[in-house]
Chains A and B, each alone.
Chain A
Amino acid sequence: DIQMTQSPSSLSASVGDRVTITCRTSQNIRRYLNWYQQKPGKAPNLLISGASSLQSGVPSRFSGSGSGTDFTLTISSLQPEDFATYYCQQSYSTPMYTFGQGTKLEIK
């Protein structure tokens, strides 16, 4: 099974900061890496698929990059509504759609 390692597990930042979250996989997954945002009490929301394809309606301050085993999610200028938990997920080695353990982004 592919192991997913997200870092950091939690992060404190201020509105306007640039933030980067990293996801590392134990095997080459090419670009089959997706990012989700989950706010408290809500279902996850797909932000980015295929490592860098922004979903419709997602603000352009979100971006994704990487391939192989190392991936990043970047928020260029944090907004109050961005404070949430972020998960990476691989869809290369199916049927096990493995998720990272999550990164909780909190207000400093």
Chain B
Amino acid sequence: VVLTQSPARLSLSPGERATLSCRASQSISSYLSWYQQKPGQAPRLLIYDASDRAPGVPARFSGSGSGTDFTLTISSLEPEDFAVYYCQQRKNWLFTFGPGTTVDVK
């Protein structure tokens, strides 16, 4: 399964809304996760099963979608949210990641 993320880069200001897209080449039901990664750090799980927030993740992060089209929304960007975001899918216990979306300061 190939994952495509768009846009590749999103330049926004703090307080703005961010909408990130992830599209799968075939249906993956709701088997999609979202991760945030900052420079020099390991990925951090944000969303699992397409729409469930991981423990400790702020409510401004939300996920939606099923089948082939998924969205990660950050309702109001905080300074610490500027990072790279990856989607990841599972099908038959094989995993792939999308290429990532960089959210940076406008």
A and B physically associate: no
Chain A residues within 8 Å of B, Cβ to Cβ: none
